Amino acid sequence: MAKQAQLDDFRVPYFDSSKKADKFSLADFDPSSKPFSTGSKDGDRKRLAEIGAKLDTLQECLHAQQQRRVLLVLQGMDTSGKDGTIRAVFHEVDPLGLRVVPFKAPTPIELAHDFLWRVHAQAPMAGELTIFNRSHYEDLLVPTVLGTLSADAFELRCQHIREFEQMLADSSTTIVKCMLHISKDEQRERLQARIDDPNKHWKFDVADLDARKQWDDYQTAYCNALAATSTSDAPWYVIPADSKTHRNVMVAELLLRTFEALKLEYPPSDDSLKGLKVE
């Protein structure tokens, strides 16, 4: 129970339109903190492997039941580790029933539809764990920072997102949303590492430097977006992510709690198979 309470310390307060909530701020969360660390990188990796083995069984039960769905949304500034989190946390998980969806800038066809059109098509199917690497929140954050989305349009999109995620939840989808929270200094080091290593040049985009110049604007946009879209059925969690191993362990702990709460079991055995011999 202590660990569960500790996880909830990093949950963004639920949106409540009936009252003026206290201003949510990412500045209240230290991106270098390691509340779920074992104390060493090796210890963190060992704990991650233990959780991975449990998630493997639970995810297999999810897939076997074909009744529920799980959606994990990963958001964060450039270099916050969305790809690395997926590789590390799901390394032990059977890929059957696991799907990763990376969202990039909308295509002309996608732009011709409403902003949730391309997202709904990628929502998890029955028995599936789907991971959004970036998500519909890009269509909220990026145009806000670029100044192409008005304040009124921002609020309307937040409302549409809440309603969309509520519809998914009403359709037996469990939603967990993680904002991988890194510091500006840590981002500088990670970007520089990509520049200095020729084998990492493919990961570097000059546009990342332009986004970095708008760091404060993105932090404000994230604060407003998370505060307006964290609900009981689709909560946001702030994941301190300056430490890669801690980031991975904390996301894994959150997923483990989520899966265990579903009380998943394998389907009942088939009595007709008793005594059956394969020749």
Pair of tokens at residue 253: 């702990």
pLDDT of residue 1: 39
pLDDT of residue 2: 43
pLDDT of residue 95: 87
What's at 5, amino acid-wise? A
Specify the 3-state DSSP secondary structure of 269: coil
Q: Are 135 and 180 in contact (CB under 8 A)?
A: no
Pair of tokens at residue 73: 């949304």
| Per-residue model confidence as pLDDT tens for the chain (279 residues) | 346 559 999 999 999 887 655 578 999 999 999 999 999 999 999 999 999 999 999 999 999 999 999 999 999 999 999 999 999 999 888 888 999 999 999 999 999 999 999 999 999 999 999 999 999 999 999 999 999 999 999 999 999 999 999 999 999 999 999 999 999 999 999 999 999 999 999 999 898 899 999 999 999 999 999 999 999 999 999 999 999 999 999 999 999 999 999 999 999 999 999 999 999
What's the number of CA atoms in the CB half-sphere (13 Å) around residue 196? 6
C-alpha span between 41 and 107 (Å, rounded): 40
Which residue reads 């090796």 in tokens?
Answer: 42
Q: In what order do the strands lie in the sheet with 98-102?
A: 98-102, 129-133, 69-76, 173-181, 236-240
CATH 3.40.50.300, domain 2-15+29-265, yes or no: yes
Query: What pTM, to 2 d.p., does this model score?
Result: 0.94
pLDDT of residue 3: 62
Q: Domain locations in the chain?
A: 2-15+29-265
pLDDT of residue 38: 92
C-alpha span between 177 and 197 (Å, rounded): 32
Pair of tokens at residue 68: 């529920």
What's at 175, amino acid-wise? I
C-alpha span between 153 and 140 (Å, rounded): 9
Q: Catalogue the E-assigned strands of the chain.
A: 69-76, 98-102, 129-133, 173-181, 236-240
- 153 Ramachandran zone, left/alpha/beta (phi>0; psi -120 to 50): alpha
